Structure 1
């Protein structure tokens, strides 16, 4: 993950000149062996228990450097600054173990219009012994040039089942385990340079923290799909809600507005 600092600097220096209407077709492939100390650190930051089974969100941080490589490589049409992570869907087909070598692939696909601009997917997949066992689809939005025609319905907050206090250092702590050192997450001063009043929590930290709340209650195979809404300002306090459905759970994070809404199905 050490090259991510350079990739963020590269994005800041060269990204604003990017223009284009297609996604490059190249991909990244690598074999990853889980570092148990890193896994334990990730589990502590996100609220999981320490065990040999990987949290469903953990392979995302293994794929993240390759995701950033693709979005800063020649031919990628958008600047990385200002490209917003709006959704993430993870499908786990069976539990993954820390002892298993993981074959990881990452590619870009499905550039499409959005009412606020254009969006696309970064698809990461893990295989073990040739069998695909995990798929992650991160949807990003490039704001600008959209129709702006979406209607915004007034949302009512769900009844909370818990209240979480989110420390002011969670952005820095998650950055250490994820490699995602975007300045908006690290310090109030750097966040203000990008238009935020304070540092904000990582979306994938908030998703992982929600999944950790269901630990011990999920099947071996399931999909967890979230939409990222308003950012969580740090430090902060959020209401967590969880409601069972016919095939899983519906959950959300709220304060005065929705921060994250998701479903688990299995």
Structure 2
């Protein structure tokens, strides 16, 4: 799949016509335990709210590297993710997964598209991807760094460990040498690992039915030190002077 994704570099499409893909999966408890350990969740038969994103990764790659998806995948940036869970999912369930792409739209620095993953009517995840075609970096109002709740020492191998459990072995996450090929001085953490690590830090204090919305900001270089902050329904992950992730959660019906 990674080779197929690399071959999409030749795409020059401007329309979205990708057919949805689907599968029914059964949770492997050994894999669930490994994922929970990498992200900091307790091991339980109740799935972490981010876990269906990992279960659907192969389907997402199939859709995004297949016909009808407009972007070449190398260089595409995962800029946001929103998950809505209406009830807890259990490891004992068969999970009907569907992945589709929608809402191709312009952005100040290129074009965005949403890749939507659903597990029946119980769980929906929306990942927003940006294909940069304009110059400059993302702008926006400055955000004041909140009071730190915890300091994380993020190890240099977290990209390889998360890649092993998620299937997302993008070279920018694996090693400094491969990351430099894509313009990064060091490997960077997966955005979805950072989101999962935040939710693991708040585990036990979140409702079972909820929406969790995050924006991925500056890359988190590996190894690194990150400052986690959580207050009320807002949370964030910071470097010394800029955010890596800004997020919020709210109860869902």
TM-score, structure 2 as length reference: 0.96
Q: Which residue of 2 aligns with 1:122?
A: 115
Q: Distance in 2 between matches of 1:235 and 1:150?
A: 24
- Structure 2: segments with no counterpart, 5+ residues: none
Cα deviation, 1:106-160, whole Å, max 9, x if unaligned, reads 0000000100100000000002xxxx100000000000048x7975333321111
Q: Distance in 1 between matches of 2:112 and 2:195?
A: 20
What is the count of residue pairs matched by the alignment?
Answer: 250
Q: Which residue of 1 aligns with 2:5?
A: 11
SS in 2 for 1:112: strand
Residue of 200, 217, 220 corresponding to 1:212: 200
Q: Which residue of 2 aligns with 1:186?
A: 174
Q: Any conservation in 1 of the 2:33–2:43 contact (CA below 8 Å)?
A: yes
Residue 109 of structure 2 is aligned to residue 138 of structure 1: no
- Which deviates the most, 60-69 or 150-159? 150-159
- Structure 1: segments with no counterpart, 5+ residues: 1-6
Q: Any conservation in 2 of the 1:83–1:143 contact (CA below 8 Å)?
A: yes
Q: Any conservation in 2 of the 1:18–1:76 contact (CA below 8 Å)?
A: no
Residue of 54, 60, 63 corresponding to 2:47: 54
Q: Distance in 1 between matches of 2:154 and 2:138?
A: 31
Residue 149 of structure 2 is aligned to residue 161 of structure 1: yes
CA deviation after TM superposition for structure 1 residue 17, in Å? 1.3
Q: Distance in 2 between matches of 1:134 and 1:41?
A: 22
TM-score, structure 1 as length reference: 0.91
CA deviation after TM superposition for structure 1 residue 74, in Å? 2.0
Cα deviation, 1:5-32, whole Å, max 9, x if unaligned, reads xx111222x2221011111240111100
Q: Which residue of 1 aligns with 2:234?
A: 250
Cα deviation, 1:163-214, whole Å, max 9, x if unaligned, reads 0110000000000100000000001100011000000000000000000011
Q: Which residue of 2 aligns with 1:31?
A: 24
Q: Which residue of 2 aligns with 1:3?
A: none
Q: Any conservation in 1 of the 2:21–2:100 contact (CA below 8 Å)?
A: yes
SS in 1 for 2:213: strand
Structure 1 stretches of 4+ with a deviation exceeding 4 A read 148-151
Q: Which residue of 1 aligns with 2:89?
A: 96
Q: Any conservation in 1 of the 2:18–2:68 contact (CA below 8 Å)?
A: no
